[in-house]
Structure 1
Amino acid sequence: MSTRQKIVFCDFDGTITVSDNIVAIMKHFDPPGWEAIVKRLVEERAISVRHAVGEMFRLLPSSRQQEVIQFAISNAVIREGFSDFVAYCKQNGIKLLVTSGGIDFFVYPLLESFDIPREHIYCNGSSFEGETIEILWPHACDEHCGADCGMCKTSIIRSYPADDYERILIGDSVTDFQGAKLVENVYARSHLIELCEELKLSYVPFETFHDIIRDLEATIQA
């Protein structure tokens, strides 16, 4: 029986929340040029996540700070079962880290009601000091990653070696793809399923966190 501690690296946008909050912000405020940036990132894979997110937010003036923050928080919907999943991890000694390509001004407020220590939440920062919104990158790629992630999930995953941890990734999109290549178990939905199938990476599909709890329970009992 494995003595390794289970550790979860859980995406935020489109995973903990039902939809992608950055895309929702862009759709709502609709600054000219944002759709072309998304196309270059998701469809063409011609630019990095860091480049795309940074460029999109530079399209929004800092003067709209409160509008942007209020919309992001009020618009987001937490995915079914997340509260139960947080409790399940705590009850079963599973370390839960939120590894988000999202931004601090909506990630922290939306997670505030859940029992997750702040030091277990990794996300990008923001500055409203200039004319446009500037995204900050406190968790940039290390020397082992050249993907220019912005918030580098693989750097965090590598700090928990496979010899000591059974590593589980939960995600939905391109920001989770590099991490999915490293871990032992992947729970995927949306674009991450397509990416996993492209490279023939093993994954378990999910729609709610109850699906993940059921699969983890079945794995323990097997």
Structure 2
Amino acid sequence: MTRKPVIFCDFDGTITLTDNIIELFKHFRPEGAEEILQCIAAKEYSIREGVEALFALLPSALRPQLTEFVQGQLQIRSGLRELLDFCQERDVEFLVTSGGMDFILYPALEPLGIPQSKIYCNSTDFNGTHIRVTSSHPCDEHCHSDCGMCKSTVMRQYPQEEYYRIMIGDSITDFAGAAFADLIFARSHLEEECRRLQMPYLPFETFHDVIRQFPNALG
């Protein structure tokens, strides 16, 4: 392998067993959330539009309760710590690329030793009456999907001539980035999309599956 391998790993439903944003809105059930979720699923809203509209339903004063709920139900998928050790031993860069929120990701990943500089996600502003979502990694001129936190934009910062780009993901927020990956580890919705588009991928349920298939994947 002459190109340096780099992993772009999703968070909700990939690093964690469930989608924490979905679980959060199921629990707090602000009026209008179900309609927005349906519009996102039907692609009537872009991911950015939908996420911003969802969190705008939540008062900023709820931050302690939101954090307590998410951290109380959040479960890390088996094998992540072993995968991080595996990557460190082999000098494989590991990045978290997520359409999730900083106030969820940072405290969840800090115990695993993943620095914030390696986490790409949405930013949240609690200074107003309601939560405001922004992203410091919006779509560049090559992506017109209005992703919010654009995974393909992050991936393009790692040119294919120099890097072997590996995506690990599960959801619709991974679809755009998957087109730029040299190797895809997929489950759930991303696996269905890979099958539909006849894109090669490797299935996984735990990160132990990723480790087991990793050497063979790199030849």
Q: TM-score under structure 2 normalisation?
A: 0.97
- Alpha-carbon separation, structure 2, partners of 1:181 and 1:208: 23
Question: Which residue does the alignment assign to 1:46?
Answer: 44
Question: Which residue does the alignment assign to 1:8?
Answer: 7
Equivalent residue in structure 1 for 2:192, among 180, 194, 213 = 194
| Greater Cα offset, 124-133 or 103-112 | 124-133
- The percentage of counterpart residues that share the same residue type is 46
Shift of 1:98: 0.5
- Alpha-carbon separation, structure 2, partners of 1:209 and 1:107: 18
Shift of 1:104: 0.6
Cα-Cα RMSD: 1.1
Shift of 1:62: 1.2
User: Which deviations, in whole Å up to 9, do the C-alpha atoms of 1:193-212 show, x marking residues without a partner?
Assistant: 11112221111111100000
Task: Say yes or no: does 1:106 pair with 2:104.
Answer: yes
Task: Say yes or no: does 1:86 pair with 2:69.
Answer: no
Which residue identity lines up with residue 205 of structure 2 in the other structure?
Answer: E
User: Which deviations, in whole Å up to 9, do the C-alpha atoms of 1:130-161 show, x marking residues without a partner?
Assistant: 12111111111111111111101111101111
- Alpha-carbon separation, structure 2, partners of 1:120 and 1:141: 18
Secondary structure of the 1:8 match is: strand
Question: Which residue does the alignment assign to 1:180?
Answer: 178
| Greater Cα offset, 33-42 or 117-126 | 33-42
Q: How does 1:135-146 map to 2 (within 5 A)?
A: 135-146=133-144
Q: How does 1:108-187 map to 2 (within 5 A)?
A: 108-187=106-185
- Alpha-carbon separation, structure 2, partners of 1:159 and 1:139: 11
Shift of 1:218: 2.9
- Alpha-carbon separation, structure 2, partners of 1:217 and 1:38: 39
Shift of 1:178: 0.2
Q: Provide structure 2 residue ranges, at least 5 long, that are not aligned to the other structure.
A: none
User: Retained in 2: the 8 A contact 1:126–1:133?
Assistant: yes
Secondary structure of the 1:163 match is: coil
Aligned length: 219
Question: Which segments of structure 1 move beyond 3 Å, counting only runs of 4 or more?
Answer: none
